[in-house]
Amino acid sequence: MKESIIIIGANGQIGTELATALREKFGIENVVTSDIREPQNLKDGEIFETLNVLDKSAIESLFQKYKPTQVYLLAAMLSATGEIYPQKAWDLNMNGLLNVLDLAVEYKISKIFWPSSIAVFGPHSPKTNTDQYCVMDPNTIYGISKLAGERLVEWYQENRGLDIRSIRYPGIISWKAEPGGGTTDYAVHIFYDALKKGTYECFLSEDTALPMLYMDDAIRGTLQLMDAPKESLTIRSSYNLTGVSFTPKELAEEIKKILPNFTITYSENDPRQAIADSWPASIEDSPARADWNWKPAFDLAKLTVDMIENLKTNKI
């Protein structure tokens, strides 16, 4: 069957690269990107529509126009910004999701992708090798909205017949588009500052370990999950997924192997520290490995080399 794909919130860190991958896979004419912000550069043949995910009738018009078979809903407010604008974060993250799910039922969309996050875990979740199923008491608006979203996603599958696929993304490290408003963003900013200034002031303490994933792995994993036969999926809320866990200090040491003069300092009293402290240091992702053969390809050393090479040649 010919696929027709709409990505909502396509101009962010993940959407930018997912759009490229989906265009390569399904053809440029079969992928529509949409976002509330205009894209920086649109290549020949790429289709873009301005869209506010809170405007349900605008989403409906897009569904009528393009008759999508797959929808990727990436529009969301992340953890750090969500604590500054809790009402807006809740509204965007929950009502954006509900709008898409309701219309997906009405327009019989075959498959939906919606990302959850490690933010669904909280201070009473196990800190290391955090299991798919465990105590979950998120204490950020973002995390609460993602956990509520997971419950909704499962409900819509059981009660409305949708096929929704989801991953609990850890921090995503990439060089093409910068992240914004997250707690894991330091792990991208550090590379920019290492190359531009030779030094970085980290907003998390040196020993704050967090689960991370390189973008190449994130995209590959997402496409793999979307391709997996429905019968093989044992988790219909959202899959734990991880690549590698490290602290700012460990990342800085790895960067120093390539840029020996790089230095790092640590700021104190940043509100993002409390968010990071409430999240797992590492994640257990065996259901993803068993159900759809998930296996990350990038460890800390490999992603550090790749980030520096690509930022040097393509960006900075």
Residues that bind ligand AKB (CB under 6 A): 78-79, 117-119, 142, 169-171, 182-184
Which residue, 32 or 283, is less far from ligand AKB as judged by CB?
A: 283
Q: Nearest 10 degrees: CA dihedral of 10, 13, 19, 22?
A: -130
Minimal distance in Å, beta carbon 169 to ligand AKB? 6
Minimal distance in Å, beta carbon 198 to ligand AKB? 25
The identity of residue 11, as a single letter, is N
Report CA-CA distances (Å) from 268 to 85, 139, 206, 273, 279.
Answer: 22, 21, 11, 9, 18
Q: Which residues are catalytic?
A: 142
Sign of CA dihedral 183, 285, 237, 228: positive
Which residue, 122 or 182, is less far from ligand AKB as judged by CB?
A: 182
Minimal distance in Å, beta carbon 309 to ligand AKB? 23
Minimal distance in Å, beta carbon 191 to ligand AKB? 15
The identity of residue 270, as a single letter, is D
Q: Are 71 and 110 in contact (CB under 8 A)?
A: no
Which residue, 68 or 115, is less far from ligand AKB as judged by CB?
A: 115
Which residue, 170 or 243, is less far from ligand AKB as judged by CB?
A: 170
Which residue, 171 or 248, is less far from ligand AKB as judged by CB?
A: 171
d(CA 165, CA 288): 12
For the record, the structure tokens of 115 come out as 């990302």
Which residues contact residue 14 at a Cβ distance below 8 angstroms, ignoring those fewer than 6 apart? 74, 115, 169, 172, 215, 218
DSSP string, 35-82: ESSPPS---TT-EEEE--TT-HHHHHHHHHHH--SEEEE-----HHHH
Minimal distance in Å, beta carbon 248 to ligand AKB? 14
Size (the chain), residues: 316
